[in-house]
Amino acid sequence: MHPRLSALAALRLTDPDKKVAATRAIGAMSMDSATESIAAAPIRTAGDDLGVPGRPERPLRVAATAVQKRSPFTTEGRAALIHSICHIEFNAINLALDAVWRYDGMPEAYYRDWLRVADEEALHFTLLHAHLQDMGWRYGDFPGHDGLWNMCEKTKDDVLARMALVPRTLEARGLDATPLIQGKLKRVNTPDALRAVEILDIILRDEVGHVAIGNHWYRWLCEREGIDPEATYPALVARYEAPRLKPPFNLEARGRAGFSSEELRQLSSAQDKA
């Protein structure tokens, strides 16, 4: 099967364990230089988005404002926190698979980049879900919101907007939030909290690379279309009603993820004014 159609098949799977296994298998195959060209020809057909994305019946999906906040200083509160990150990573698997399958006409490197991202997101989900089970819960035991996938839906017909508003906007917020979450967990200082900090170290390291991939392809697409990336970005934010960025910002991680010096300057200025 064509690697992009394999990505679609994995995207349609509803069982989290099967989705993870299929995603990791595709990722392993994509690393093989003998794998057939991923960018050989268009693969999209009418109605092929049926069943996209495949998701389990649980967790119950609610509005972001309806997700109950729990203190990380209780065991159940920490489990809910780990579950929320696990839910983000599950959606991120779907996001990366969708980026591989949905958009015809991109270079070979684009598809291989996003297959690698999907594989790493599957690893993140596996680490978090195993930790959640060690704590006595499973994925689906708490509700989750659909903010990440909602933006995927909005940008399904525009790869430029997808690159601008999912990896370099929504996922980049994870670069900002993760150190704050780790700080709270370190204050809790229980074995399960410190194990969560270790897992988040792995995720933060990899997510810098994922955001960098989004930045790279966003700028590549802007160059292909002859438009200025920094001037285009706020217009895309307005058109697709993307969330506004709020401090604090992890400027060091964002710098490593490929944000320009001007973008970092603007974020630093906004942070100083907050």
Nearest residue to 6 via CA among 23, 20, 28: 23
Nearest-angstrom CA–CA distance, 117 and 263: 24
Strands 61-62 and 144-145: parallel
Indicate if the pLDDT at residue 227 is higher than 60: yes
Kind plus residue range of the DSSP H or E element containing 145: strand 144-145
CB 123 within 8 A of CB 108: no
Q: Which residue has the tokens 């204050």?
A: 187
- Give yes or no for residue 127 having a pLDDT over 90: yes
Polymer length in residues for the chain: 274
Mean pLDDT of 176-187: 97
Residue type, 130: A
Which pLDDT score, from 0 to 100, does residue 35 have? 59
Q: Kindly report the average pLDDT of the chain as a whole number.
A: 94
Average pLDDT score over residue span 101-107: 96
Rounded to 5 degrees, φ, ψ at 7 are -65, -40
Cβ neighbours, 10 Å, residue 10: 27
Cα(51)–Cα(264) distance, integer angstroms: 39
What does the alpha-carbon distance between residue 129 and residue 87 come to, in Å, rounded to a whole number?
Answer: 9
pLDDT at 33: 55
Structure tokens at 138: 């499973």
Alpha-carbon distance of 156 to 98, in angstroms, equals 9
Exposure string of 17-27, with b = 16+ CB inside 10 Å and e = fewer, is eebbebbbebb
What is the token pair recorded at 253? 């991680």
Neighbours of 100 (CB within 10 A): 27
Question: 20 pLDDT exceeds 90?
Answer: yes
Give the pLDDT mean for 76-105: 96
